[in-house]
Amino acid sequence: MKDKPWLVDQITVIGPGLMGGSIAKACMERALSKRLVIGAREDELALLKKSGLNAAFYNDFGLSVKGSDLVVLCVPLEALKPILLVIKDFIGPETIVTDVTSVKREVISLFSEILTEKVQWIGSHPMAGSEKSGFESSTSRLFEGSITILTPGSHVGSQALDIVKTFWEKLGSKTITLSAEEHDGLVSEISHLPHLLSAVLMTTVSLRSLTVAGPGFRDITRIASGCPHLWKSILLANRHSVYEAGKKFILDLEEALKILQIGDEKALLELLNKAHIRRKGLDKK
Amino acid sequence: MKDKPWLVDQITVIGPGLMGGSIAKACMERALSKRLVIGAREDELALLKKSGLNAAFYNDFGLSVKGSDLVVLCVPLEALKPILLVIKDFIGPETIVTDVTSVKREVISLFSEILTEKVQWIGSHPMAGSEKSGFESSTSRLFEGSITILTPGSHVGSQALDIVKTFWEKLGSKTITLSAEEHDGLVSEISHLPHLLSAVLMTTVSLRSLTVAGPGFRDITRIASGCPHLWKSILLANRHSVYEAGKKFILDLEEALKILQIGDEKALLELLNKAHIRRKGLDKK
């Protein structure tokens, strides 16, 4: 690896949406591979060819992964299975396959079932993104300052894991390695439940109050403008963890409402102080 | 009014924090008055004098309002009463008094009790701001694109109301007029409950999950970094409305969790779609 200027010879990115487009742009800018291949749907090819990406474009996913050292699947959860079924016969035991979806138990079981242990597969979840979607919103800087959670198969060698780690680090992301179960539990709290809260808040307020919404309300509901289909799949795939996190949230909210009801100034200040300090802590990262 | 280049001869802003500082800067830049006076605490004067604000500075609030046509009180709710008690003997029947606090029933009853109907008082709530606070975060553009809710006393003449409307419009804000009760109900939904949700979410998640927080979580919890003391007063002053809004939110969240639990794809997509469309609608404003 050290005598080459690039991380691997060939990287294939399948699905040039916000995530895939951003990864492809970053791979090109940072020269992560000698050759970059994009697998895309027929209707996406015209836009890609005009994008200035220095890559080969295929709408045949099988051909797009042939000879690749690293395949990054950037498609929604429900599109993963058919693509895995197509590409499995075009990749060898040395190929590393990863994805970018927000749930990992389900992905890991698909990888395990379809790719089996003959392929090096590692789940990736970059905690980056935007409420926007599509290649037109993609940017090579999307992952800068982010954290990517890796969930490698238990059979995966340390060299493959190192390549995936280095891949994300070169894109500007720190990495941590977790089991798929740990991952799904943590993100239910920090990403999936917050999305549901934001959506429920957006629908629970009266239309009249929306006419006076200020910047705070815009911030708290920004994620509710994310793609409904994408989030439906994410929430359903991780629904047991989100349900548990939601129940815990309701208990804590009921406690806070009780504090308000009895006008307990001290307890309310404690809650707000704790939230304030924790949130300030996030800004320092 | 029309033959003068300014809105009124003298404006006094009491309390040069984020809101008061922003108002003072905007008043100066847009030449809203011939003379601008700032009432501030002794310890705030040094910073103000170095700020480049073309204004007179007083730490005697009584003197600061003498001869003013418009007095804008930019102090937290709990500081309003002592200041009203001080200034009431320095203002005449032609003076217009307004404030910028986030709750209006309590303010209106203070105005009514202390200033009585001899003074023209109008509650103002600019739906603008930031999780930051203090004069150092103030900016003359803070109100651009915002909405300010006005709650005038029933005795207030149309000329006084017009002046306050024009004042906010010149600062870049649209205005709407509501009763204090309507105001407190709407903002409990759109501002106060969201603040509580953000604070509860910030405290309910595990510290471990905070280590992987992404941009969505930062957005939804941004308002939780607001000043705990300020928000404690706001939430307590409007606690009955916030409690009701909170209970309604819990019912809707429980419904959403039930949808998740039974895996009702159609109902989940409907919820996310409704939230998505409503949130996109906010961006267009």
CB contact B216 to A (< 8 Å): yes
Which of B253, B261, B273, B274 is best to mutate for the A interface (most A CBs within 10 A)?
Answer: B253
Q: Residue B1: which pLDDT band, with cuts at 50, 70 and 90?
A: very low
Residues A246 and A240: their CA atoms lie apart, in Å, by 10
Q: How many residues does chain B have?
A: 285
Q: Assess whether pLDDT exceeds 90 at residue B219.
A: yes
Residues B153 and B179: their CA atoms lie apart, in Å, by 9
Q: For A35, list phi and psi in degrees, rounded to 5.
A: -135, 135
Q: Residue A61: which pLDDT band, with cuts at 50, 70 and 90?
A: very high
Residues B195 and B231: their CA atoms lie apart, in Å, by 8
**Of A139, A113, A224, A34, the residue nearest B282 (C-alpha):** A224
Q: At what angle do helices A239-262 and B239-261 cross, to 10 degrees?
A: 160
Q: Assess whether pLDDT exceeds 60 at residue B3.
A: no
Q: Chain B residue with minimal CA distance to A279?
A: B225
Residues B173 and B281: their CA atoms lie apart, in Å, by 19
CB contact B262 to A (< 8 Å): no
Looking at every residue in chain A, the average pLDDT score rounds to: 95
Residue with tokens 């008094």: B97
Inter-chain Cβ pairs, chain A and chain B, closer than 8 A? 290
Distance, C-alpha B31 to centroid of its chain: 22
Q: What is the pLDDT of residues B171-199, one digit of tens each?
A: 999 999 999 999 999 999 999 999 999 99
* Same fold for the pair B8-178 and B183-283: no
Return the higher-pLDDT residue of A284 and B92: B92
Distance to chain B for A21, nearest Cα, Å = 18
Residues B265 and B284: their CA atoms lie apart, in Å, by 29
Contact B196 A253 (CB under 8 A): yes
- Residues from chain A that touch B272, judged by Cβ atoms under 8 A, are 199, 224, 228, 231-232, 235
Contact B227 A176 (CB under 8 A): no
Contact B224 A276 (CB under 8 A): yes
Residue B171 near residue B26, CB atoms below 8 Å: yes
Residue with tokens 């779609």: B273
Q: Strand, helix or coil at B9?
A: strand
**Contact residues for B123 (Cβ-Cβ < 8 A; gap 6+):** B98, B99, B101, B104, B107, B108, B111, B150, B151, B152, B180, B183
- Residues from chain B that touch A186, judged by Cβ atoms under 8 A, are 206, 208-209, 212
Q: Average pLDDT, stretch B230-235?
A: 94
Candidate from B190, B224, B242 with C-beta closest to A279: B224
Q: What is the pLDDT of residues B83-105, one digit of tens each?
A: 999 999 999 889 999 999 999 99
pLDDT reported for residue B129: 81
pLDDT reported for residue A220: 96
**CA dihedral (A224, A234, B212, A243) positive or negative:** positive
Q: What is the pLDDT of residues B199-217, one digit of tens each?
A: 999 999 999 999 999 999 9
- Residues from chain A that touch B186, judged by Cβ atoms under 8 A, are 206, 208-209, 212
Q: Assess whether pLDDT exceeds 90 at residue A58.
A: yes
Residues B278 and A207: their CA atoms lie apart, in Å, by 9
pLDDT reported for residue B283: 86
CB contact B137 to A (< 8 Å): no
Q: Chain A residue with minimal CA distance to B229?
A: A269
Domain ranges in chain A?
8-178, 183-283
CB contact B190 to A (< 8 Å): yes
pLDDT reported for residue B131: 79
Q: Average pLDDT, stretch B59-75?
A: 97
Q: Chain B residue with minimal CA distance to A205?
A: B189
Contact B203 A282 (CB under 8 A): no
Q: What is the pLDDT of residues A159-197, one digit of tens each?
A: 999 999 999 999 999 999 999 999 999 999 999 999 999
CB contact A262 to B (< 8 Å): no
pLDDT reported for residue A136: 93
Q: Chain B residue with minimal CA distance to A229?
A: B269
**CA dihedral (A187, B263, B265, A243) positive or negative:** negative
Q: Average pLDDT, stretch B249-274?
A: 98
Residue A272 near residue B232, CB atoms below 8 Å: yes
Q: What is the pLDDT of residues A255-281, one digit of tens each?
A: 999 999 999 999 999 999 999 999 999
Residues A188 and B186: their CA atoms lie apart, in Å, by 30
Could you tell me whether strands B120-126 and B147-152 are parallel, antiparallel, or unpaired per DSSP bridges? antiparallel
pLDDT reported for residue A148: 97
Residue B98 near residue B124, CB atoms below 8 Å: yes
Which of B151, B178, B212 is best to mutate for the A interface (most A CBs within 10 A)?
Answer: B212
Q: What is the pLDDT of residues A200-227, one digit of tens each?
A: 999 999 999 999 999 999 999 999 999 9
**Domain at A183-283, CATH from 1.10.3660.10, 3.30.70.580, 1.20.1270.10, 2.40.50.100:** 1.10.3660.10
pLDDT reported for residue A234: 94
Q: Residue A1: which pLDDT band, with cuts at 50, 70 and 90?
A: very low
Q: What is the pLDDT of residues A124-144, one digit of tens each?
A: 999 998 778 899 999 999 999
Percent of chain B topping pLDDT 70:
98
pLDDT reported for residue A285: 62
Q: At what angle do helices A228-237 and A239-262 cross, to 10 degrees?
A: 100
Phi-psi region of A172 (alpha: psi -120 to 50; beta: other; left: phi over 0): left
**Contact residues for B20 (Cβ-Cβ < 8 A; gap 6+):** B13, B14, B38, B72, B74, B75, B100, B135, B138
pLDDT reported for residue B284: 75
CB contact A123 to B (< 8 Å): no
Topology (CATH) of A8-178: Rossmann fold (3.40.50)
